Amino acid sequence: MTEGKISQKIILFAFPIFLGRLFQQLYNVIDSLVVGNVLGKEALAAVSSTGSLIFLIVGFINGIFVGASVIISHYFGANDEEKLSTAVHTTIAFSFIAGILITIVGVRFTPLFLRWMGTPHDVFKDAVTYLRLYFTGGIGIVMYNACMGIFQAVGDSKRPLYYLIIASIINVVLDILLVAVYDFGIAGAAIATVISQFVSLLLAFIKLTRVDGCYRVYIKRIGLDLNMLKRLIKIGFPTGVQNSVISFANVIVQTNINSFGSVAMAGSGSYSKLEGFSFLPITSFSLALTTFIGQNLGAKKYERAKKGARFGVIAGVILAEITGIFIWIFAPKLIRFFNSDPEVIKYGVMQARTISLFYFLLALSHCLSGILRGAGKTKIPMYVMLISWCVIRISYITIMVKIIPDIRVVYWAYPLTWSISSIIFLIYYKKTDWLMSYNDS
């Protein structure tokens, strides 16, 4: 990432990330397609309503691994092999411990979390079943994300793609077998997801133990270096908080959607699957920018980092808006894939056509956030998201839904808060010397 044509390097790095997340999103969608069409709209609502809660719990830990990825990319760019190896082995050890904690917390407290969200009685039992089974795979989920972060930090976005393709195929086959053929019900969808996650973890971990490079994992060296762990947490903790803040706000949003009934939940859940696809170019360029900026600042190539940042933001914004226009036009047909109930389609289309034309704002916020993370300034995105995507979003919904009890009021929370975060990020990006901010101490 520190040599060659900037646009080509970023695109070639971002494209495998895009494809990998596309396949990951596809097997999430397969869950909803099979569940919605085989088990009905109540089961679809149960699966759909769990997404925000899953990301609230898993997202925090995965945010810590963003810190690991930033540190590893800096050491890789600076050719500091000893510190890079220490960071890699500490990351693997921490991911194992975190996976166990997520499993315990998720399985134990799932019913309580769902009650806090106001999950309707007619979908509560299915939601508990799905979530508890999902969290039994906590180690697979967390450790795979840690391995993926290591590969991406050193500029390898192809191997995670291969593993996700394999996992996606396994998930699709198991979904059809367990839900549609052998009638495992909603539990079958969760089991299929857990098995596919563990397969992708095994493939990634085995490869890390065999690579010919300074980031190779040696089983005997896996352990926590306390100084390195402190650095990982110092840089990663703000991103973990940021993820949790976003997820917490989305849980509040989901709670308000739940109050409109299971049909609204199913429609919103169907739209969320489409939204997952539309976010792919956004997250791909954001992750690519984090690695690109990290490696080039580690190599002290400041002008190259600046040019790469500019290109990544422009490309991410344009791609996001093209996707948004496509979803706005074809929303009725796309929502119908998940459930043919006219009321479900109505709610899904309503949400899509309220939000999708504002995707460029989301892309701008995420890309600028990715740049700042690559520069080691992970606290800034945390503060911005805390203010705009949590405090303002929750305050807006809490007040406005009481004044105007219309579900579209909830939908408008997203473009309004994306606008605020984009303005703050732009001001900070233009007014500060983020290029010289990283301190490897």
pLDDT tens, residue by residue, 395-425: 998 899 889 988 888 899 999 999 999 999 9
- Using pLDDT thresholds of 50, 70 and 90, give the confidence band for residue 116: confident
Enumerate the domain spans of the chain: 6-435
* Residue 306 CB coordination number (10 Å): 16
Mean residue pLDDT of the chain comes to 84
Distance, CA of 143 to CA of 100 (rounded, Å): 10
pTM equals 0.72
SS (H, E, C) the chain: CCCCCHHHHHHHHHHHHHHHHHHHHHHHHHHHHHHHHHHCHHHHHHHHCCHHHHHHHHHHHHHHHHHHHHHHHHHHHCCCHHHHHHHHHHHHHHHHHHHHHHHHHHHHHHHHHHHHCCCCHHHHHHHHHHHHHHHCCHHHHHHHHHHHHHHHHCCCCHHHHHHHHHHHHHHHHHHHHHHHHCCCCHHHHHHHHHHHHHHHHHHHHHHHCCCCCCCCCCHHHCCCCHHHHHHHHHHHHHHHHHHHHHHHHHHHHHHHHHCCCHHHHHHHHHHHHHHHHHCHHHHHHHHHHHHHHHHHHHCCCHHHHHHHHHHHHHHHHHHHHHHHHHHHHHHHHHHHCCCCCHHHHHHHHHHHHHHHHHHHHHHHHHHHHHHHHHCCCCHHHHHHHHHHHHHHHHHHHHHHHHHCCCHHHHHCHHHHHHHHHHHHHHHHHHHCCHHHCCCCC
Tens of pLDDT along 128-160? 888 888 888 889 888 988 898 898 888 887 888
* Residue 380 CB coordination number (10 Å): 22
* Residue 427 CB coordination number (10 Å): 10
Q: Is the pLDDT of residue 441 over 50?
A: no
Tens of pLDDT along 261-294? 778 877 887 787 788 777 888 888 888 888 888 8
pLDDT of residue 438: 55
Residue linked to tokens 């393709």: 165
Q: Which two tokens stand for residue 67?
A: 């810190």
Residue type, 101: L
Pick from 306, 341, 350: nearest CA to 40: 341
* Residue 230 CB coordination number (10 Å): 11
Average pLDDT rounded to a whole number, residues 94-118:
86
- 230 to each of 58, 81, 86, 363, 390, how far by Cα in Å? 20, 19, 12, 31, 27
- 180 to each of 35, 131, 177, 230, 271, how far by Cα in Å? 8, 20, 6, 47, 23
Please list, in sequence order, all residues whose beta carbon lies within 8 angstroms of the beta carbon of residue 369, skipping any fewer than 6 positions away: 242, 286, 381, 384, 385, 425
CB of 241 closer than 8 Å to CB of 390:
no
pLDDT of residue 27: 67
Tens of pLDDT along 332-361? 888 887 777 888 888 889 999 999 999 999
Pick from 16, 14, 25: nearest CA to 272: 25
- 161 to each of 69, 145, 152, 324, 375, how far by Cα in Å? 17, 12, 11, 24, 25
Average pLDDT rounded to a whole number, residues 224-236:
86
Distance, CA of 26 to CA of 169 (rounded, Å): 10
The Cβ-side half-sphere exposure at 86, using a 13 Å CA radius, reads: 14
Biggest distance spanned by C-alpha atoms of the chain: 62
CB of 25 closer than 8 Å to CB of 319:
no
